[in-house]
Amino acid sequence: MMRAVAIGWITAAAALAQVPELPAGLGGQEPEKAGEPTLPSGLGGQEPGLPSGLGGGDEAGQHEQQADPADEPEAGWAERWRFGGFFDVRAGARTQRDPYERDASVGEARLRLEAEGAFDSLIARLAGDLIADNLQRGWGPDLETGEGCFDLREANVAISPWSTVDLKVGRQALTWGTGDLLFINDLFPKDWVSFLTGRDTEYLKAPSDAIRAGFFTDLANLEIVYTPRFDPDRFVRGERLSYFNPILGRRAGRDAIQDPLVRDRWFEDDEVAMRLSRNVGGYELAAYGYWGRWKSPAGFDMTAGRGTFPRLAVYGASARTQLAGGIANVEVGYYDSRQDADGDDALIDNSQLRGLIGFERDLPELAHGLTAGMQYYFEAMMGHDEYLSTLPSGGTARDEVRHVVTARLSKLLLEQRLRLSLFAFYSPSDSDAYLRPSASYAIDDSWTAAVGANVFVGRDQHTFFGQFENDSNVFLSLRMSF
Amino acid sequence: MKRPVQSSLFHLVLLAMATTPAFAQEKTAPTEPTVEQIVAAANRVGYYQGRDGRAQVKMVIVDGQGRERVREMTILRRDQPAAAAGETAGGAKVEADDSYCGEQRFYVRFKRPADVDKTTFLVWKRPGEDDSRWLYLPALDLVKPISAADKRSSFVGSNFYYEDVSGRHIAADTHELIETTKDYYVIRSVPKDAKSAEFAAYKMWIHRASSVVVKVEYRDDKDEVYRTYEALAVDQVQGYPTVTKAKMTDLRSKGHTIVTYTDVAYDLDLPEEIFTERYLRQAPRRYMR
C-alpha cells in the first residue's frame, strides 16, 4: 500500500513538473541554472537595472543637434540646418634640397565650415575652407584655384523634379570611373598640387561648377554633367612643386611658374561629360563621353609663350564585378586630341588610348582589416611616328606606350583606430615610381593625427613621376572634426 | 483505518488532476519544435521581421581602458523578395515559413562621428554566398564597391562584426538543442566549415515565447567563452518583438559595445530602388525618419 502510494506520489509529482504555471519550486527544479541569462526587460523578466529612459546613461556628453523626431511638429530653422566642419593643421617638408623651391612643402591651418539645409523639395549645401597658408601667393581668395585665405568647396542645391530625375546645381565634387587613383573617364578637375604635397585625399578632387543631371530608369541610368565654364585641374605650376619644363629642358620651379592661357568664357569654353550605366548580371557596365578640353596644359602657344588647353573628346567604357571575393574592374578610354588629329603638331599633345585593369580584395585569410589591390594601366600615344618626326631637336622623346602598375595595401589596427596605408605607382617603361605611405590614428571621435610621405624616384628627369624627384616630402597633420 | 483511506483518496485525486486535460500544458503543441525550427524562428525574429524596416542605431564602443567612441547611423532594411505568402491585404502577417532566410538589402547612413557624416554603406546580403557591398564617400562623391570577403571583421570599430549586423546564415552551422528550461531553448552550434569563423562553437539562449535570442556565448577551441552577446531590452514594435538594446562584450580585451535602436519601424513599403547607387549620393529622406 505504502509503495503504491509512493509510486503514485512520484508519478503525480512528475506530471505536475510539466505544468508551467506552477511555481518552479514544486516538482524539484532548481530556480536558475548557472549561466542562464536573466530575461531582458520586455520579455517578462526582471529589469536589468537600466536607468529610466533606456540608454540614458550613454547619452551623457553627446550634443544632439536634431530634435526628437517623435515630437517634431514642423521643422523650424534649427532643425532644418545642420552644421559641421573641421580644423586641420598640416606641415610638411622636403627630404632633399630643391634649388627652385622652398624647403616646406605644405604649411597651413584650415577651418572647414559646412552647412546643409534640408527643405521639402531641395537640399542646399555650403562648404568652405578658411585658410592660413604659409606658402600661399597672397591672402586674396581665388575661387577658381582655391589659393588665398578662402577655398569654396561646395555651394549647391539638389532637387528631384521628377521621381526619375535628380539635379544638383552649383559647386560640387564629382567622381566616376573605376580606377583607384588612376583616371581614364573621370575628366573632372583634380588638384594635383594637394595630392602630391600631402593634403588629405579629399583634396585630390577640385570642386566643379556644374549642373549634374541624373535620369534613372529600369533600362539604364544616364548622368550628364554640364560645366558652363571650363574647370581645369589645379595642376603643378612650379610654385610649390618643381616639374620638368620642356622649353628649358630641365627641372624648374619658382623660376618658371606656369601661367597658361586661361579659358574662361561662359558657355563658349564649356564642357559636357556623360555616363550611361546599367547592371547586367552582376556586372556594372558603363559608357562614357566627354567633350571639352585637356584639363592640364597640353598645348603651347609660341606667340604668347604660354601653355594652352586644347580641345579634347574622350570616349570610353568600363565594367566592374565581384570576383573571387574581391572587386575586378576594366576600363578603356580614347582621348581624341581634336586640334591635333594627325599627331603632327609638335605643340599639342597627341591623341591617346588609355586602359586599365584592376583587382582589390580584403584578405581575411591573412588578417582582419587587411585590404590589397593591384592595377595595370597603360597610355598609348597615337601617331607616335608623326610625334617623333616633329619633335624639336634636343627634345626628350616620350615612349609610344607608357605602362604603370599600382599596388595598394592597407591595414586597420588597434580596434580600427590606426590605419596604415601604402599606395605605390611604378612605371617599368619610364623607370620611375611614386610611393604614398601614410598612417592615421583616431585619437578619439573628434581628433585624428596623421603622418605620411610622398616619395618620387626616377631614372630620368623628364618622366611623369621622375620629374618630381626633388619634391619628395614628409608631412604631419592634426584634425579636429565637429 | 481512516487516515490511510483519506491519504489514498488524496493521492488518487491528485493523480487524476495531474492527468486530466484541464491541467495539461497550456501550449498544446502536439510536438516540441525541432532545433531547426527554433533556430529558424530566432533568425526570423532577429533579422527578418516585417517586409522591411528602419531604425536609428547608436553604438557606444568602450575599450579595455574605458575610452568611449560613438557611432550613430540610420539603417534601412528590405527583404528580397517581399516576405513569404500568407500576408493579408491589411499587412497583418500570417506566420511566415520559418525556414525563410533569403536575400536582404541594407542601407546604412552614418551621422556620427563628424568625419563620417553622410558616409553610406550599402549591402546586398546573400546567405550562403558572398554579399555585395558598396561604400559612398561624400567628400569625393565616390561610390566604391568593396570586397565582402571578410564577414567577421569589426563593423566600424565596434565589437560587432559585419556578420552580426547582417545575420549569419543559419545553414552555416550545425545546431543542437542541449537544454530546454522554463524560459529558454539552449542551443549549441558548431560551424560546418571551421575556417568560416574564429569561434569553435557558440551557445545561444533563445527565449521560448518570443524566439528572441537573449544571450550568445562564443567559445574558442579550448571551449572557453571569449565573447558574449546579450539582449538587454526588448520592446514590442508594431507587434514585433524588437531588441532595442544589446551588448557585445569581448572578454579578452575587456571592451564592449552597447547598441541601442530607436525610432524602429517596420513595413514602410521601402522601394527596392533605394538600395542602389542613386540613393547613396542622395539619401531617401522620406524614409529616413
**A338: its cell numbers:** 581634336
User: Chain A contacts of B151, Cβ < 8 Å?
Assistant: 364
Contact A410, A421 (CB under 8 A): yes
Are the C-beta atoms of residues A192 and A234 closer than 8 Å to each other? yes
Distance, in Å, from the CA atom of B80 to the CA atom of A341, rounded to the nearest integer, reads 51
Q: Do B212 and A216 touch (CB under 8 A)?
A: no
User: What is the model's pLDDT at position A34?
Assistant: 54
Q: Is the peptide bond before B113 cis (omega within 30 degrees of 0)?
A: yes
CB atoms within 10 A of CB B207: 24
**Average pLDDT value for residue range B230-239:** 95
Q: How far is A271 from chain B (nearest CA, A)?
A: 19
Query: What mean pLDDT is predicted for residues B103-129?
Result: 93
Q: Best mutation site among A445, A447, A477, A478 for testing chain B: the one with the most B CBs within 10 Å? A: A445
Nearest to A5 among B11, B114, B151 (CB): B11
The DSSP secondary-structure symbol of A303 reads T
Q: Which residues of A touch B154 (CB under 8 A)?
A: 368-369, 412, 415-416
Q: What's the rounded Cα separation, in Å, for the pair A297 and A230? A: 13
User: Are A175 and A155 in contact, with CB atoms under 8 Å apart?
Assistant: no
* Dihedral sign (CA B135, A415, A445, A88): negative
Q: Residue B88's pLDDT is what? A: 40
Residue A249 zone, left/alpha/beta (φ > 0; ψ -120 to 50; rest)? left
Chain A CB contacts of B244 below 8 Å: 42, 54
Predicted confidence (pLDDT) at residue B98 exceeds the cutoff of 70: no
pLDDT at A338: 94
| Nearest residue to A465 via CA among A417, A413, A412, A429 | A429
Residue B105 has what pLDDT?
A: 95
The type of residue at A35 is: G
Lowest-pLDDT range of A175-184, A306-315, A437-446, B5-14: B5-14
Which residues on chain A are in Cβ contact (under 8 Å) with B148?
Answer: 322, 325, 362
Q: How far is B27 from chain A (nearest CA, A)?
A: 9
The pLDDT tens digits for A335-350 are 999 999 988 898 999 9
Label residue A36 by pLDDT band (50, 70, 90): confident
Provide DSSP, B72-116: EEEEEEEEESPPPS-B-TTSPBPPPPTT---EEEEEEEEEESGGG
Mean pLDDT of chain A: 88
Q: Give the one of B145, B156, B212 whose C-beta lies nearest to A327's C-beta.
A: B145
**Between A11, A24, A62, which is nearest B182 by CB?**
A24
Report pLDDT for A39: 85
Query: How many angstroms from the chain centroid is the CA of residue A308?
Result: 28
Q: In sequence order, what are the residues at sequence separation of 6 or more whose Cβ sits closer than 8 angstroms to the Cβ of residue A208?
A: A171, A172, A173, A174, A188, A189, A225, A227, A231
**Cβ contact B58–A58 (<8 Å):** yes
SS3 A93: strand
Q: Which residues of A touch B234 (CB under 8 A)?
A: 40-43
Calculate the average pLDDT of chain B.
86
- Asked if B51 and B79 count as a contact pair (C-beta separation under 8 A), the reply is yes
Choose among B103, B104, B102, B140: nearest CA to B120. B140
Q: In this predicted structure, what is the pLDDT of residue B289?
A: 80
Q: Using only C-alpha atoms, what is the Rg of chain B? A: 23
Q: How far apart are CA A240 and CA A197, in angstroms?
A: 8
Instruction: Please tell me the distance in Å from B21's CA to the nearest CA on chain A.
Output: 11
Closest chain A residue by Cα to residue B20:
A15
Dist CA A19 CA B173 (whole Å): 33
A404: three-class secondary structure by DSSP = strand
Stronger pLDDT, A65 or A376, i.e. the higher one:
A376
Q: Which of B58, B115, B205 would you mutate first to test chain A, the one with the most A CBs within 10 A?
A: B115
B20 touches chain A (CB under 8 A): no
Q: How far apart are CA A309 and CA A300, in angstroms?
A: 8
Q: Please tell me the distance in Å from A2's CA to the nearest CA on chain B.
A: 9
Among A25-34, A403-412, B9-18, B41-50, name the one with the lowest average pLDDT.
A25-34
Residue range B126-132: average pLDDT? Answer: 87
Dig out the grid coordinates for A296 from the structure.
Answer: 592640364
For residue A220, give the 3-state DSSP assignment: coil
Nearest Cα of chain B lies from the Cα of A286 at a distance, in angstroms, of 13
Residue written as grid cell 595595370: A376
Q: What are the DSSP E strand ranges found in A120-205?
A: 122-133, 150-162, 165-172
What's the gap between Cα B219 and its chain centre?
Answer: 19
Query: Is residue B32 within 8 angstroms of chain A, CB to CB?
Result: no
Retrieve residue A61's grid coordinates: 556628453
The distance of A230 to chain B (nearest Cα, Å) reads 20
Q: Which of B115, B117, B141 sits opposite A173 (nearest CB)?
A: B141
Q: List, for residues A134-155, the tens digit of each pLDDT value.
A: 888 888 999 988 989 999 999 9
What's the rounded Cα separation, in Å, for the pair A304 and A213?
A: 38
Element (H, E) at A87: strand A81-94
Per-residue pLDDT of B4-47, as tens digits, reads 555 555 555 555 554 554 444 445 555 788 999 999 999 999 99
Find chain B residues with C-beta within 8 A of A129's C-beta: none
Q: Considering only CA atoms, which of A465, A334, A318, A340 is closest in space to residue A403?
A: A465
Tell me what pLDDT residue A63 has.
Answer: 36
Which three-class secondary structure state does DSSP give residue B278? Answer: helix
| C-alpha cell of residue B60 | 557606444
For chain A, what percent of residues have pLDDT higher than 70? Answer: 86
Rounded CA-CA distance B7/A39 in Å is 40
Q: Does A184 have pLDDT greater than 90?
A: yes
Burial of B6 (0-12, 13-18, 19+ CB in 10 A): exposed
Of the candidates B282, B173, B168, which has an alpha carbon nearest to the alpha carbon of residue B229?
Answer: B168
- Cβ distance B70 to A445 less than 8 Å, yes or no, reads yes
pLDDT in tens, A276-300: 999 998 899 999 999 999 999 999 9
Q: Which three cell numbers stand for residue A442?
A: 583616431
User: Which residue, A229, A149, A233, A250, is CA-closest to A194?
Assistant: A233
pLDDT at B190: 96
CB contact under 8 A, A369 and B154: yes
Chain B residues lying within 8 Å of A364, measured CB to CB:
149-153
Q: How confident is the model at residue A99 (pLDDT cuts 50, 70, 90)?
A: very high
Contact A297, A251 (CB under 8 A): no
Cell numbers representing residue A408 in the block: 595598394
Beta-bridge partners for A85: A113
Q: Which residues of B touch A415 (CB under 8 A)?
A: 61, 63, 154, 157, 253, 255
Q: What is the pLDDT of residue A71?
A: 47
* CB nearest A36 (choices: B142, B205, B255): B205
SS3 label, residue A121: coil
Q: Which three cell numbers stand for residue A135?
A: 606658402
Determine, for residues B18 and A21 on separate chains, whether the beta-carbon distance falls below 8 Å. Answer: no
Q: How far apart are CA A304 and CA A297, in angstroms?
A: 14
In the stretch 453-472 of chain A, residues with CB closer than 8 A to chain B read none
Rounded CA gap, A406 and A376, in Å?
Answer: 7
CB pairs under 8 A between A and B: 197
CA A31 distance to own-chain centroid: 58
ipTM: 0.85
Write out chain B residues lying below 8 Å of A84, CB-based.
114, 117
Mean pLDDT calculated for residue range A242-257:
93
Rounded Cα gap, residues A32 and B126, in angstroms: 39
Return d(Cα A123, Cα A166) in angstroms, integer: 11
Residues 6+ apart with CB under 8 A from B28: none
Q: Which of residues 112-131 of A touch B (CB under 8 A)?
A: 118, 123
Q: What 8-state DSSP symbol labels residue A205?
A: B
Segment A84-97, tens digit of pLDDT: 999 999 999 999 99
pLDDT band at A64 (very low <50, low <70, confident <90, very high): very low
Per residue, the 3-state secondary structure of A269-284, as one string, reads CCEEEEEEEEEECCEE
CB proximity list for A56: less than 8 A, separation 6 or greater: A50
Specify the pLDDT at position B12: 56
Distance CA A187, CA A217 (A): 25
Task: Answer whether B50 touches A (CB < 8 Å).
Answer: no
Question: What average pLDDT does range A101-110 have in this prediction?
Answer: 95
Specify the pLDDT at position B30. 56
Query: Cα A455 to the chain's mean position, in Å?
Result: 20
Burial label for B284, CB within 10 Å (0-12, 13-18, 19+), is middle
Q: How far is CA A354 from CA A122, A210, A273, in A?
A: 39, 26, 17
Q: How far apart are CA A35 and CA A16, in angstroms?
A: 26
- Which residues make beta-bridge pairs with A167? A159, A213
Please give the torsion angle defined by the CA atoms of residues B71, A367, B246 and B275, in that order, rounded to the nearest 10 degrees: 60
Question: Whose CA is closest to A379, among A358, A406, A359, A351?
Answer: A351
- B115 vs A40: CB contact, 8 Å cut-off? no
Kindly state whether B219 is in contact with chain A, defined as any CB-CB distance less than 8 angstroms: no
Q: What is the pTM of this model?
A: 0.85
Any chain A CB within 8 A of the CB of B153?
Answer: yes
Name chain A contacts of B67, Cβ cutoff 8 Å: 444
SS3 state at B45: helix
- Would you say A196 and A295 are in contact if contact means Cβ atoms under 8 Å apart? no
The DSSP code for A234 is B
